[in-house]
Every structure is written in C-alpha cells, then in structure tokens.
Amino acid sequence: MPELPEVETMRRGVLGIIGGKVVKAERTPCPKKPIVISPRIDRLSKRLVGKTIKSVDRLGKRVVVRFETGDRLIFEPRMTGLVLISDPPTTEHLRFSLKLKNCPIKKLLYWDRRGLGNVTLLTDKQYQTKLTDGKLGPDALVVSEEEFPQRFGKTRRDVKVAMLDQSIVLGIGNLYASEILHLAGVHPQTRCDLINKKRWSLIYKHMLDVFALAIEYEGSTLSDGTYRNALNKSGGYQNEHRVYDREGEKCPSCKQSPIIRIVQAQRATFYCKKCQTKR
C-alpha cells in the first residue's frame, strides 16, 4: 500500500542515519515468506560494512540510501513493507537490518508482513541503467504543470488506470488516485485523450494539494493497521479520505450521492457519480 506520501514519510523519518557507518548488514530470520534481497546477503554485507551513508532519497515509492561509494541500497515496500528505526510492529516479519555507528540511530530496519517487497543494492551505474535512464517517469512532486498532461499523451486508457503507470508519472498509487480525481471532479473511467487542458490542470493542482497534506499527516494507516511511520506510529491522513474505502457513505462534497466502488485493472476505485460525471 505505501504510496508517495507514506514513502516520503519513511524517508524523512530515517534521515538521522546520514553520516552513519555500517557495522553489519544481515537478513533477519523470518519463518514467513522470504523477501528478495539482492545480491546475496553475504555479498551485500561485504560491500556495505565500513561504508558511510551520504544521503537518503526517494525514487517514487522506493526509499534509496546512498553510500560514499556511490552504491545505493533500495527498499521497495510494495504492499506492506516499512522502513523503520524503531521497534517493528511484529518481530516475526522483520526481514533485514543495518547496524550503524557514528550516528544517533543504531539500526535501520526493513519490516514486511506479506513479504512482497524487496531490498536491492545497486552500483551507481546499475542504478542509472535500471531505474533512472528513462525507465520511470518524473516524480509527481517534480513534474511541471505543462509536462503533466503531455506525459499521458493521447492514450485511450482510463485516467485512473493511467495514473498508476509509474513510467508516466512516478509515485501516484491506487488510494491517492481516487482522492485526486474526486477533488478534480473527473470520472475515473474518463479516457485520457478526452480530458481537456483545464481538467488536467485541476488534476495536477489537486495532486500536489493531496500529497502535501498527506505528507503533513505522515501518510494513511488503513483499517489493517499495516502502514506505520519510521517510529512505528500511525499516520493520520486516513481521517481526511473523501472517497477511498468509503463505499455507500454520502459524498462529502455534494452530500447527496453515495460513494461507489468499481474495479479498474483489478484495483478498487471509489468515486461519486454526481460530482464526477462521466463525459
């Protein structure tokens, strides 16, 4: 589930590891489904031990830890992964840890209940080749208002489906796409090629507004309680959701129509038929 606001919250929550030197990198024994760690843990550890952390960045929905060597340790949380510096929600789903010195934070942890995420160490060249050289779109917080609609081009895909394509714009996920489109008054099944410039501007504006507020609230912790910030605390933006996971409730905008749930590309979409008329 972690999308841009949640991953940005994770990134900000672990900034204290900058300047830290790796003492040990290890896969934590987990009786559940093992996650993918690449390269093999002994090789990964050998490359990192003694190396200093220079920065903590975000690439869309990934946390990227950069070392003095140019190597980057990439955490991709996918559905239930968390990057933490405090005790994890459960001990049995702790997957990976970095023991550190020379900084106030002694351990960087990766926890993943379902085990769908991964941890990958890439050289600078591998990072550029595999992830940044045209493979992914510009970040949602960086793309300009002019470039935003151009990225979607003339595709005939539903706008909600296209917004989830990370090769177009990076960071938008299922939850926030529904929220953004509701505020912009755009039906989620509207074809991208039928959206005019004014509507694209509204989508862009509300995307920035939603992300800014969601980051301020440190993300959304849903009913399953899985998402937590770096200190294992709940986010608060779930209390601001207007349509996501509110099927049957009255729309907070028109206060008349109930929120409807449909499925697009095997993902749940929520919207108001009165406020988001299909054009």
Whether the pLDDT of residue 278 is over 90: the answer is no
- Average pLDDT for 247-265: 97
- Average pLDDT for 245-256: 96
Query: Residue 190 has what pLDDT?
Result: 97
Strand arrangement, sheet containing 107-112:
21-27, 94-101, 107-112, 81-84
DSSP bridge partners of 99: 24, 107
The residue from 3, 6, 8, 76 that is catalytic is 3
**What is the CB-side half-sphere exposure of residue 245 using CA atoms within 13 A?**
12
Query: Residue 61 has what pLDDT?
Result: 97
> What is the per-residue pLDDT across 42-83, written as a single tens digit (0 to 9) for each?
999 999 999 999 999 999 999 999 999 999 999 999 999 999
Catalytic residue list contains 29: no
The residue from 27, 61, 66, 242 that is catalytic is 61
What's the chain's length in residues?
279
| Per-residue confidence band for 162, with pLDDT thresholds at 50, 70 and 90 | very high
Query: Residue 224 has what pLDDT?
Result: 83
Catalytic residue list contains 273: no
| Per-residue confidence band for 36, with pLDDT thresholds at 50, 70 and 90 | very high
Catalytic residue list contains 2: yes
Full set of structural domains in the chain with CATH: 4-132 (3.20.190.10), 147-272 (1.10.8.50)
Secondary structure (3-state) at 47: helix
The residue from 51, 114, 261, 267 that is catalytic is 267
Catalytic residue list contains 216: no
Each as own residue / partner, the long-range contacts of residues 147-153 (CB below 8 Å, 24 or more positions apart, any chain) are: 148/200, 148/203, 148/204, 149/195, 149/197, 149/200, 149/204, 152/192, 152/195, 152/200, 153/192, 153/193
> What is the per-residue pLDDT across 191-227, written as a single tens digit (0 to 9) for each?
999 999 999 999 999 999 999 999 999 999 998 878 9
Query: Residue 226 has what pLDDT?
Result: 87
Secondary structure (3-state) at 265: coil
Query: Residue 1 has what pLDDT?
Result: 74
Q: How far apart are CA 265 and CA 212, in angstroms?
A: 27
> What is the per-residue pLDDT across 78-129, written as a single tens digit (0 to 9) for each?
999 999 999 899 999 999 999 999 999 999 999 999 999 999 999 999 999 9
CB-CB contact of 117 with 93 (8 Å): no
DSSP 121-184: EE-HHHHIIIIISSSS--BTTTS-TTHHHHHHTT--SBHHHHHT-TTTSBS--HHHHHHHHHHH
**What is the CB-side half-sphere exposure of residue 203 using CA atoms within 13 A?**
29
CB-CB contact of 248 with 158 (8 Å): no
CB-CB contact of 153 with 247 (8 Å): no
